[in-house]
Every structure is written in structure tokens, then in C-alpha cells.
Amino acid sequence: MMSIVAVVGRPNVGKSTFFNRLIQRREAIVDAVSGVTRDRHYGKSDWNGKEFSLIDTGGYVKGSDDIFEAEIDKQVELAIDEADAIIFMVDVESGVTGMDQEVAKLLRRSKKPIFLAINKVDSASRMNDALEFYSLGFENQYTLSSINGSGTGDLLDDLVKALPEREEQDDSELPRFAVVGRPNAGKSSFINALIGKDRYIVTDIAGTTRDSIDTKYNRFGFEFNLVDTAGIRKKSKVKEDLEFYSVMRSVRAIEHCDVIILVFDATRGFDGQVENIFWLAQRNNKGIVILANKWDLVEDKESSSVKDYEKYIRQQIEPFVDVPIVFVSVLTKQRIYKAIETAVEVYQNRSKKVKTSELNDVMLPIIQNYPPPAYKAKYVKIKFCTQLPTPYPSFAFFCNLPQYVKDPYKRFIENKLRENFDFTGVPITVYFRKK
């Protein structure tokens, strides 16, 4: 399981800039998905070969009457509680403030590894100004500039050393299907209906599920692990925020599954929170099946309503629209087995390996008829392509000038791969490399 690092501090100290720099400078695959509460983001990054999830929290303000700031404060406390290590960011320009001291008190109670990042130290004269932050009492202190990135390397070197070594999730070779979505969307009911017994407590109260639990499923010729990711784990001293924990459990489950089954309440709509989880799965290159649950409760259904609703969902998830959407009712068990059949098909698509000879026989004539546009009077010539040995579909196209191949042509190649080889429900990564 991947470690979690929270970036905390009062407002306007540069947390989001620091967060963006971390995820953009990584050479590995990264992602950033906006949260549902103001000024919170989730990211994935790595340093020195060690991956970790990153939370950019809102600015902590103690005692504010602003309803948004009160909500953000609760989110910060939850992020601290969930994290394995914490980057505490302060601003050298303003020096130690009363709010910095409040955050420091909160962090000392957490008993987590704390790394004090003194931001905006972009000149030698400010190095001396940073000395006053020793008064906050943290041993791990680093001067940096989130704007230009100076000093971040030393911080990250020590950070990854402090992160715990995670045990492997499961040595089983069975596929892992994670059931994710907002609280009270019907995830636990879906699993109960599939396995034919009430394995999980199901109520109308959002957040009933307290832990992510694996269930081995072996019926009708299918065998895999189902993971219920409601995962609202009860915390002492911290008031629960269901949406926050829903996202965090989804983050962790998505990282360690093969296919996600994204369940949403059709009466509530395909909203921003559901989209965030979708894009998180897409950027992690996981197979995706979308389930519109409680379809039987949707009023004023007409003969074209399913088609219209599906069209709306695809507009929300553009440009990755090659995703199966199944309309189900967990309560009446309507099409729930169709959902599982579809998830198995997506898993098979994600595991598909295309022979190099077949790939070249199909793709090279297409490329010859529709070559990349010339750039600065230079022509890109693609001579060879192959599928890479990754757990998800990724392809390398070897050419003379890979730097001149732009995103529109990469999307063209991806679409042609989908047309000729069935990769429904699976993100595809296309690389252009120097021959």
C-alpha cells in the first residue's frame, strides 16, 4: 500500500505551488485530481524510486467564522490523521505567525514525522531570516522555493527515507476489482447482491462501511477479488468527513486494483466527486466500468432516457469515452451480473497483448496514409511499433523526430488502436521514441 504525505500550513504560504511542482517534475506517471472541498488536491508522485500519494490541503485558520474555512480546518485535521508523514509549510517573508504556532501545536500532537518547509527562500539574504523558524521546535527544517524548485531535493531525500515500508497487498494472482464511488451510492449492496449474502452491513446512513474488505468471488465461471472501498474508518478525536474518507479509500484501492467499478447514484447524478474518482482511475491506467445505480428510482424515464443519460456521461468524461456504462438496480438485482461480465471483459482488455507483427501490419499502413503533420518543414517518419511489457496497454512508436509528434496525432493513433484492437474500458498510453 502506498504511503500518504500531507502538505499543511496556513493560507498563502505556497502549498499548492509546491504540490504542483512536485507532481510535474516527476518523470514517473503522476496525477492530480481536484477534491470536492475548496483548495484540496490529491496527487501521486515518486522520489528516488519510492512512490507516495500526496494531499494538498486548504489553508488552516483557527477560530474563523467563515463556513468554508471551518470546513477546510476539519479537512486539514483529517489529512494529518490519515498521513504517514507531513510537510509543514511556512513563509519566510512573514516570519513565524500566531497561526503557524497553532498549526505546529496541532502537528506535534499527531506523533507523525514532520518536515518543516520554509518557503520563498530564493536568495542568500533570506537564509538568515529562516533561522527564527527553529522556535517552532521541529528538527527537520528545510529552506526552499516552490516557485523555482530550489531546496526541494534535500527535503524529498529525507522524506522518502521516513516513509514506512508497505507490505504487498496480496500475493494472489486473482484479478482485483475495486468497487468505488461516493458514500451511500450502493457499493456494499452491490457486493451483497453479487455474493448472495449480507457480507457487509447496509443501511441508508452514508458511511456505514468502516474498512475496505476483500471478498473472493467465484461464480458463473468468474473468479476474482472484490474490494468494497467505502472504507470510512472511524477515528478517535477527529470528526468524520465522509467525502474525504471516500476519496482517500478510493485513492488507495485504485492504486492496487486492476479494474474499478465506479458506482454512482443515478438519482443524484454524475457529479464532480464521481468525475474526480473516474479521472484518478484513468490516470492510474486502471480498467473502468461505470454503473448507474438506482436506475429504477429515476422518474420520468422515456424510451430515449438511457441513451441521453449515457451521452451526458460521455460528455463529462471526454476525451476518454470508450468506457462501458451499465444501468443497474442493486435493489432489484437488475443487470448486476451484466456489470460483472463487463468488468471481466475490461480486465481481459487491459491484459491483452498484441503481437508485434500484427500490430505493425495494422498500424503502419494507417500511419502511411495519415502521417504526422510536418513541423518546421521536417517530416516525421514512423518505422516500427511494439507493445510495451506493462500491466496496462502501452505502445511505443519508433520514429526519426519524436519531439515533433503533437498530442492531436497521439490521440489519432490511440483511436486507431481502439478501432482495430478492443481496448474498451482501458486507458492507452502511446509513446513516440527515437529510432
3-state helix, strand, coil in the chain (%, to 5): 35, 25, 40
Q: How far apart are CA 250 and CA 183, in angstroms?
A: 11
**DSSP secondary structure letter of residue 59:** P
> Which helix (H) or strand (E) segment is 402 a member of?
none
The separation between the first and the last C-alpha atoms of the chain, rounded to the nearest angstrom, is 37
Q: How far apart are CA 336 and CA 331, in angstroms?
A: 10
12 labeled binding residue: yes
59 labeled binding residue: yes
14 labeled binding residue: yes
60 labeled binding residue: yes
10 labeled binding residue: yes
296 labeled binding residue: yes
Single-letter amino acid code for the residue at 429: T
229 labeled binding residue: yes
> Which helix (H) or strand (E) segment is 243 a member of?
helix 242-255
Other residues' Cβ atoms within 10 Å of the Cβ of residue 199: 15
218 labeled binding residue: no
184 labeled binding residue: yes
232 labeled binding residue: yes
214 labeled binding residue: no
285 labeled binding residue: no
> Which helix (H) or strand (E) segment is 65 a member of?
none
Burial 120-135 (b: 16+ CB within 10 A, else e): bbbeeeeeebbeebee
185 labeled binding residue: yes
295 labeled binding residue: yes
293 labeled binding residue: yes
429 labeled binding residue: no
373 labeled binding residue: no
121 labeled binding residue: yes
| Cβ-contact 20, 32 below 8 angstroms | yes
360 labeled binding residue: no
151 labeled binding residue: no
What value, to the nearest 5°, has the Cα angle with vertex 100 and ends 97 and 106?
Answer: 150
15 labeled binding residue: yes
128 labeled binding residue: no
Q: How far apart are CA 190 and CA 204, in angstroms?
A: 14
Burial 364-381 (b: 16+ CB within 10 A, else e): eeebeeeebeeeeeeebe
Binding residues for GTP: 9-16, 56-60, 119-122, 181-188, 228-232, 293-296
Binding residues: 9-16, 56-60, 119-122, 181-188, 228-232, 293-296
